[in-house]
Chains A and B, each alone.
Chain A
Amino acid sequence: MQIKSASRLVGRALLLPTLALSFSSVAFAGPDENQLIIEGETISTDTKAAAGNPLPHLYSGWRFRSIETQALQADDFENPAFTAVDTGEELWNTVDGSAGKSCSSCHNDAAESMAGVRAKMPSWSDSLGKPHTMETQINACREEQMGAEKWKWEAQDMLAMTAYVGLQSRGMPVALDLEKGEMQDWHDKGEDLYNTRVGQLNLSCANCHGGNFGKMIRADHLSQGQTNGFPVYRLKWGGLGSIHRRFKGCMDNIRATPYKRGSDEFIALEVYTANRGQGLSVETPSVRN
């Protein structure tokens, strides 16, 4: 821990002169300048914000982590999430449920059929009358297509599958379609929630991830709270966690009663946060402290 933070401080101190040169009038302890290269492929970790985005420029959460944590994500053999990815691949090919089917019975090779799916989630579902998250889509296939039992939101199998399916979109830009169905309404509801102050500490998501990203909040380096790397492997959790688990953690920290995982509120918030990261590369599965 101590070595880690010390090296972070050194890294930041070294960066200061460059920062001071490029943004001489702003005191801004921003993201670092490191590049994410996985298996020889460069994954862009920042991008220009689309018109209407409240953020000036988009940065992946990876850019705010310590060099040690960054390194874990930059190597699939070191990335602890890959055990779950392997499980996900096994599950993909395993028959389950009364219809005697596996995911691959219908979707064949995930590398082809699932490429780009994570990048557009959540996406509108006519049959549901609301947006599908990756979790609800997978459960819909299990129940309706396979006659299998649905998985709990944070079940190991669910996390393994969302990680495996998500990985097939790695490197692709997040691109939600807000024109479909009532996506815009869900987005707007999410935006309201994002800007509502909650809890005894009386803070909104935007208070930390909008105005103050780049700054230290005690031992943690505040990012923009992007969701492009989920599910993420958190060292603190010792395993993978969903987007909604992270939302819950942030609400707990400000002493608010969190919404339930899979609730309409968290789905709306997920639509908004995903769209707020429109253009960032999918990094699933990311590693966080």
Chain B
Amino acid sequence: MSAAEYPGLPAKPGGRWKIWLAIGIIAAITAVTLAPGIGVDFSLDAILRNWRNGTEKIGQLLVPDWSFFPRTIAPLWETIQMAIIASVIGAIVSVPLSMWAARLTNPNPVTRGIVRTLLNIVRAVPDLLYAAVLVAMVGVGALPGIIALVLFNVGIVVKLVSEAIESGDPGPGEAARAAGATQTQINRAALLPDIWPPFINQALYAFELNVRASTVLGLVGAGGLGLLIDAVRTFYRYDQLSLIILEILVVVVLIDWASAVIRKRVK
């Protein structure tokens, strides 16, 4: 066929059909999930019926109960502490794990495969599920929240950093190997210096996510603001809830800003 177009033209690489297949599958799944009876119960009708109810709640949300502020300070601080502790522990654990998971820093396919598989499992479980299970195991409080966040952080930081390692320059490592270094020495002395920037970046990104996530973990009893959110929600105190939401917003914005400043300096 290619010979007809131009003599000596090599065969076209296949693969385009895969894209079309993917598009087709996604379209089919979307159609099924929206189909009445089988899929998600999505109806405009229900939204309109509940609308009156909703506007009332939004009215309350617009008027925060400022007098509630003192009672939010301790849980808010606990949430931030959980995020900080979990980010630091997660980051420290992620350094060796990232190196075990990347080919450049761990040429052994067996140990690399084991670490990668374990991490895929860790990443597959949602953080809220970790928190719920851990609350059952170690009791209500900040500890299960911190452990859940550490697992969450390790999952994403190791994935992103090991990918950054793979795309890095193998040259310095080769020079260290040629000088008689062991793999551990190669990783520490020749490769780690150039891995710091992506590592700091991903660790800070995980920290940003942690502040948001740690507010929710309390809903299942894992400490922080979430516990308070759960309480005011059960008493329909939407004015107090809106104060909490506002506080989370301010903290998240501040932390995103601080982390952006740090990232810029690391580059």
Check if A and B associate.
no
